[in-house]
């Protein structure tokens, strides 16, 4: 296996920038997810790593060897990059073993070695007993595992997953997530996993690259993305964080600063060195919203929607201090909030977003 180094790559299609100055380092054996809304450039990035698109600027190295730059480009078949797509593209007339071994046959690998490599690849995805089946007689999850085995038999240095679970139902998705996690643990394969499903990215990846409009917004662990988003896009994209305007009243001390928002003051977490600022933004998570007693600091507003979701309701709330803004939180059973009800709430914590509007997105 090998690491991947993406250095300041850009991709232009005419005047449109599909990728704009993106740099990402993936360590040998790391599982990196690339996450972002539709059109953010995920597929373009994957196609450039695989060698299907040339770069408009920057360079890509796999295992320390340059494979793409403005000057030269190694063809896809020489990169030893495996790809697992969402549509498995298995040949229906071949058995599972024939599907997996086909590329080796074309490459004129001897029969005995071919059989051994096919058996090893089947074992890696825990499908030893299915070599003689045809794809039509497999479940969706099993087909996806065959597609993975077919990619592994070529001994890739890096495996790219292109939304591999997008076509599967919810239950199968969950079990395939487990499969992929186990597979990664067992084999130590370097993986770049493209998805727009953040639960999937959070569950699987060591680190996640969040992209928006062709740019890398943040590259961090799932925990860090959730607790310390660098800008408004990441704050609101990850787990539907709420972003509220605030005034920073004191300089950072012990990882916290005092802010005023929604008319009341509280301490929030922040980066080292933050200074007072009249135009700051705070990221609030739903678990940081709580009911306030009448004599406590807090803010008033109205419940605009209460949707029961089994065991809890999602409450949408409009604070009087910021008409048009919606806060949302969960109220566990027994649910008391009703649409139209007046409430007094408080914030228990928050995160001062470090990159202000102009710098971030």
Site for ligand ATP, rule CB under 6 A = 13, 16, 18, 36, 38-44, 196
Take residue 297 and report the two structure tokens written for it. Answer: 């600091």
Task: For the CB of residue 103, give the shortest distance to ligand ATP in the complex, in Å.
Answer: 26
Task: For the CB of residue 313, give the shortest distance to ligand ATP in the complex, in Å.
Answer: 31
CB–CB of 94/102 below 8 Å? yes
User: Is the Cβ of residue 42 or residue 285 nearer to ligand ATP in the bound state?
Assistant: 42
Contacts of 171-175 with CB under 8 Å at 24 or more apart are 172/139, 172/140, 172/141, 173/200, 175/141
CB–CB of 299/314 below 8 Å? no
Nearest Cα to Cα of residue 341 among 300, 309, 313, 308 = 300
Task: For the CB of residue 53, give the shortest distance to ligand ATP in the complex, in Å.
Answer: 8
Task: For the CB of residue 10, give the shortest distance to ligand ATP in the complex, in Å.
Answer: 12
Task: For the CB of residue 312, give the shortest distance to ligand ATP in the complex, in Å.
Answer: 30
Take residue 295 and report the two structure tokens written for it. Answer: 């004599």
User: Is the Cβ of residue 40 or residue 153 nearer to ligand ATP in the bound state?
Assistant: 40
Q: Which residues pair with 280 in a beta bridge?
A: 246
User: Is the Cβ of residue 69 or residue 86 nearer to ligand ATP in the bound state?
Assistant: 86
Q: CA of 23: how far to CAs of 2, 49, 61, 358, in Å?
A: 17, 12, 11, 20
User: Is the Cβ of residue 18 or residue 205 nearer to ligand ATP in the bound state?
Assistant: 18
User: Is the Cβ of residue 50 or residue 146 nearer to ligand ATP in the bound state?
Assistant: 50
Q: Which residues pair with 242 in a beta bridge?
A: 284
């Amino acid at each position: 296996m090998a690491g991947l180094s993406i250095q300041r790559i850009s991709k232009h299609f005419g005047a449109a920038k599909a990728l704009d100055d993106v740099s990402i380092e993936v360590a040998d054996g790391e599982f990196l997810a690339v996450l972002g809304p539709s059109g953010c450039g995920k597929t373009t990035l994957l196609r450039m790593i695989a060698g299907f698109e040339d770069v408009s600027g920057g360079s890509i190295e796999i295992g320390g060897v340059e494979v793409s730059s403005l000057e030269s480009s190694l063809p896809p078949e020489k990169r030893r990059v495996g790809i697992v797509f969402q549509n498995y593209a298995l040949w229906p007339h071949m058995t599972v073993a024939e599907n997996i071994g086909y590329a080796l046959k074309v490459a004129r690998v001897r029969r005995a070695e071919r059989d051994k490599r096919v058996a090893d690849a089947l074992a890696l995805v825990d499908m030893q007993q299915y070599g003689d089946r045809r794809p039509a007689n497999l479940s969706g999850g099993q087909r996806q595992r065959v597609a993975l085995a077919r990619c592994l038999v070529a001994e890739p240095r890096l495996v790219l997953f292109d939304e591999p679970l997008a076509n599967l139902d919810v239950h199968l998705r969950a079990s395939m997530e487990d499969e992929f996690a186990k597979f990664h643990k067992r084999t130590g394969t370097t993986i770049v996993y493209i998805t727009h499903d953040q639960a999937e990215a959070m569950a699987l990846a060591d680190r996640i690259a969040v992209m928006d409009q062709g740019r890398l917004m943040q590259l961090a662990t799932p925990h860090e993305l959730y607790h310390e988003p660098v800008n408004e896009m990441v704050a609101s994209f990850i787990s539907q964080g709420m972003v509220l305007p605030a005034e920073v009243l004191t300089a950072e001390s012990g990882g916290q600063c005092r802010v005023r928002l929604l008319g009341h003051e509280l301490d929030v977490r922040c980066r080292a060195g933050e200074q007072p600022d009249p135009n700051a933004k705070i990221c609030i998570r739903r678990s940081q919203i709580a009911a306030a007693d009448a004599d406590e600091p807090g803010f008033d507003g109205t419940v605009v929607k209460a949707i029961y979701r089994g065991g809890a309701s999602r409450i949408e709330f409009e604070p009087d201090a910021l008409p048009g803004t919606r806060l949302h939180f969960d109220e566990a059973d027994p649910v008391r909030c009703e649409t139209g009800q007046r409430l007094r709430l408080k914030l228990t914590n928050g995160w001062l977003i470090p990159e202000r509007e102009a710098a971030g997105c």
